[in-house]
A and B are shown apart, each in its own frame.
Chain A
Amino acid sequence: MDAFMENPVAVMLSDPILWIGLWYGLLLTLQIAALSIVLSFAFGTVLGAMRYSGLPVVKHFAATYIEVVRNLPTLLLILTSYFVLGLPAMWAATIGLTIYTSAIIAEVIRGGLNSVPTGQWEAARSQGFSFLQSMRHIVLPPAVVKMIPPIVSQFVTVIKDSSFAMAIGAYELMFKGTILAATFWRPSQIITIYVVISIIYFTINFIISTIARSLQARLSVGRGSIGS
């Protein structure tokens, strides 16, 4: 027992300060990620619908936004939100991630809607369904099935990319861990902290990607190939 307690890594790991620090870092990571996902879903749906709509100006605005943002690094968007828009670090990270993720979600939503053949629309309208009724009862059910798995796996990307907030000094998990690591000098302690951070990210993301995969498998089996 004494030998164990003299081990610097064991001493470090039994210190609650480390775990409290990482816990607060994790909370901020999850807060940034959750807010970005909710906001991105809202903006992404609007953008995706705009691009799908076929209305001339609206469509081109959405398409330009999506094409520009998709080809920019998320880090640049976070830095721009912080330094140019002058937002506080936590919000700069959230908004930067939202600008990017809403473009991705918009494409997922448009892809889902496009996957429903136009014949389905025409059939629904010819049977007297209104636009909204056709959307609600005919087009959305199969489209949403296609959208869910990629949106869930986008959560993983958002959680991973929230670590870029380190660059603007938001105390999320990655930055918090790096600061804590800097309070130790032994390689074994510093490496252990990095390993612990990796395990935390891995556990969360692995759970989410497993859910995404099982959704994908279940939804694609459940719907079969009828009509496609």
Chain B
Amino acid sequence: MSDIFGRIGFLQEGPFAIPRWEAVFSNIDLLWQGALVTLTVASLGLALALALGTVLGVMGASHWTGPRAFARGYVEFYQNTPLLIQVFMIFNALPMIISGLFIPVITIGILGVGMYHGAYISEVVRAGIQSIGRGQLEAAVSQGFTYVGAMRYIIIPQAMRIVLPPLTNQAVSLIKNTSVIAIIAGGDLMYAGDAFAGRFGHYGPTYVLVGLGYFLMCFPLAILARRLEDRTRVA
């Protein structure tokens, strides 16, 4: 068997040679640690994005000019500039404004993806609220529901069905976008893979495993998003 492999050239040398795979698998715990950092940044970043997105979405759907304009400006800025420059602003520029400020890279990642995807999520939330229609709220209140009760039993259950599929897609994008902190030595999966691959030149197998890691984190969510979409369409 090994004789057969020995005759196959690309398994002996080249970017995907067997020794390279062995080297990567014997250092798999480096990638594992990176994956844990990615999961941490992604989950806390998602929490921040959801919180910001809900507040800004409600502001964007409101009738007050000030908050609505603020939400609009925030969304336009964050959606139209690269995440990378926002991260660099926090990484490079913020410690210059507040001297002596030290922000851990993981926090930079959380703030970066949280604020960036908060803008996208706020648009989803705003669209969800606006899709329900004012008449529903008025009807509920006229039937004796309180404002909170109407939101809780009438508006939010309907809005959730509309909002959940795009929210899940946002979570997928957020996980993928946490990889930008690799550029500022963030210690995440992308960085761990890149640092290991760069040391010995085992780029091929390392990137395959890094890709597999991201795929395993994102694909289940992508499937979930599609299920939710199908359910919304039927209902």
Q: A residues touching B (Cβ–Cβ < 8 Å)?
A: 67-68, 70-76, 79-80, 83-84, 156, 159-161, 163-164, 166-167, 174, 178, 181, 187, 190-191, 194, 197-198, 201-202, 205-206, 209
Contact = CB atoms under 8 A, between A and B. Distances in A.
Given A73-B179, A83-B197, A194 B85 contact: yes
B180 interface: yes
Q: Is the interface of B mostly helix, strand, loop or mixed?
A: helix
B150 interface: no
B93 A79 contact: no
Given A160-B83, A201-B81, A206-B80, A83 B207 contact: yes
B82 interface: yes
B141 interface: no
A206 B192 CA distance: 35
A84 B93 contact: no
A71 B218 contact: yes
A174 B222 contact: no
A164 B176 CA distance: 13
B84 A74 contact: no
Contacts of B40: none
Interface of B: 15, 76-77, 79-85, 88-89, 92-93, 96-97, 172, 176-177, 179-180, 182-183, 190, 194, 197, 203-204, 207, 210-211, 214-215, 218-219, 222
A79 B207 contact: yes
A201 B203 contact: no
A193 B15 CA distance: 39
Contacts of A161: 82
Given A70-B222, A190-B92, A191-B93, A205 B176 contact: no
Nearest to B215: A71
Nearest to B221: A71
Given A83-B207, A202-B77, A163 B214 contact: no
A190 B85 CA distance: 13
B88 A187 contact: no
Nearest to B169: A70
A83 B203 contact: yes
A176 to B, nearest CB: 12
A146 B93 CA distance: 41
Given A71-B218, A205-B81, 12 more contacts: A68-B215, A70-B222, A71-B172, A71-B222, A73-B179, A76-B179, A80-B211, A163-B85, A174-B82, A181-B92, A194-B93, A202-B80
B180 to A, nearest CB: 7
Contact of B96 (A67, A191, A198, A209): A191
A187 to B, nearest CB: 3
Contacts of B82: 159-161, 163, 174, 201
Contacts of A79: 190, 194, 203, 207
Contacts of B76: 202, 206, 209
B99 to A, nearest CB: 8
Contacts of A160: 80-83
Contact of A84 (B85, B204, B214): B204
Contact of A71 (B15, B89, B176): B176
